[in-house]
């Protein structure tokens, strides 16, 4: 029996394993149910009881050695296969980096901010959930003004609502800063409006405020003409129309000429060719008084524009809803634009 075990050890030791096929042959010859190790166990059953203890240790050691050899070569062959599959060819050209893209509204907002920064305006920000005072009362909205109604405003609770304009930020600035004040307030605003190609229930605004001594409507027009010239280019056709806002007096709206060359232009401009991009005016004295500013020595102007409208004009986009659908076909057109 001992000779049989030693002979089997020697055969297993000499057995060459370099491939998966040879490994499988080793398993069949030594470790399978019909293999040589199983024959040894069968012969062990016939051994005299006195010899079983010593021979049993040799049989177990033989089994361990055979299984270890099989396991070792199995792991080595698997490792070699993985290394071959994972071999990198460093002479190949690398994969091109995929450029991300800013959202067109972010691009336009950053460009507008850059223009007004060069004019001396600083950025001011405030909360999107506002109280009645900052969103309405301080801005000269009477108690029964339609903008306070649920048809226009998303109320969170009594006297608290999602801000309907970033003018509420201007109120906070005027309350906490002494003139001269020259600031812009970009941000998202919310209004309970029907969603269409021209409007949405949430959109982005950028409002500007300038308060100093002897500020006039001519200063306001000069500032806005300068903005249009820098953003849209020289020769852009612009018009001012008289309008009404509770917080400015006199008030006006500024239009850009889009034309009526296509059905989309006609639909977007309601057949006039003009698209309103901002409202503006001289800050009402009541607003200045509400914010603790001396109206005898200071006056100011304010303006507010919709980022979506400006982006539509700049990029020729005819439907405002496209900005919020996250269609990658649209977004990919702005790769590398900052």
pLDDT confidence of residue 59: 76
pLDDT confidence of residue 72: 84
pLDDT confidence of residue 82: 60
Locate the domains of the chain by residue range.
2-85, 104-334
CA neighbor of 306 nearest in space, from 333, 337, 332, 275 = 275
Half-sphere exposure of 111 (CA within 13 A, CB side): 19
Instruction: Kindly report, residue by residue over 278-328, the tens digit of the pLDDT.
Output: 999 999 999 999 999 999 999 999 999 999 988 988 888 888 889 988 888
What CATH fold (topology level) applies to the domain 104-334? BirA Bifunctional Protein; domain 2 (3.30.930)
Which segments in the chain show pLDDT lower than 50? none
Q: How many CB atoms sit inside 10 A of residue 94's CB?
A: 6
pLDDT confidence of residue 302: 97
pLDDT confidence of residue 81: 63
pLDDT confidence of residue 157: 87
pLDDT confidence of residue 137: 92
């Amino acid at each position: 029996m001992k000779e049989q075990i030693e002979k089997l050890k020697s055969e297993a030791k000499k057995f060459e394993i370099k491939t998966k096929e040879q490994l499988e042959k080793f398993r069949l010859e030594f470790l399978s149910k019909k293999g040589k190790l199983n024959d040894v166990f069968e012969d062990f059953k016939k051994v005299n009881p006195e010899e079983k203890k010593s021979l049993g240790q040799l049989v177990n050691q033989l089994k361990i050695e055979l299984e270890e050899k099989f396991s070792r070569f199995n792991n080595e062959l698997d490792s070699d296969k993985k290394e071959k599959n994972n071999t990198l060819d460093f002479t190949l050209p690398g994969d091109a980096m995929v450029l991300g893209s800013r959202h067109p509204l972010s691009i336009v907002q950053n460009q507008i901010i850059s223009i007004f920064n060069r004019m001396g305006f600083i950025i001011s920000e405030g909360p999107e959930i506002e109280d009645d005072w900052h969103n309405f009362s301080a801005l000269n909205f009477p108690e029964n003004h339609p903008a306070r109604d649920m048809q226009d405003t998303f109320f969170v609770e009594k006297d608290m609502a999602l801000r309907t304009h970033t003018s509420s930020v201007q109120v906070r600035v005027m309350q906490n800063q002494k003139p001269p004040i020259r600031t812009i307030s970009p941000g998202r605003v919310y209004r309970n409006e029907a969603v269409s190609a021209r409007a949405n229930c949430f959109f982005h605004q950028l409002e500007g405020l300038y308060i100093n001594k002897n500020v006039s409507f001519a200063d306001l027009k000069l500032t806005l003409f300068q903005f249009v010239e820098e953003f849209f280019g020289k020769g852009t056709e612009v018009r001012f129309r008289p309008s009404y806002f509770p917080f400015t007096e006199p008030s006006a709206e500024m239009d850009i000429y889009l034309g009526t060359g296509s059905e989309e232009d006609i639909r977007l401009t309601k057949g006039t060719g003009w698209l309103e991009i901002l409202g503006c005016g001289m800050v009402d004295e009541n607003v200045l008084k509400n914010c603790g500013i001396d109206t005898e020595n200071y006056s100011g102007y304010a303006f507010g524009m919709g980022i979506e409208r400006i982006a539509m004009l700049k990029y020729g986009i005819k439907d405002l809803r496209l900005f919020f659908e996250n269609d990658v076909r649209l977004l990919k057109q702005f790769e590398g634009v900052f």
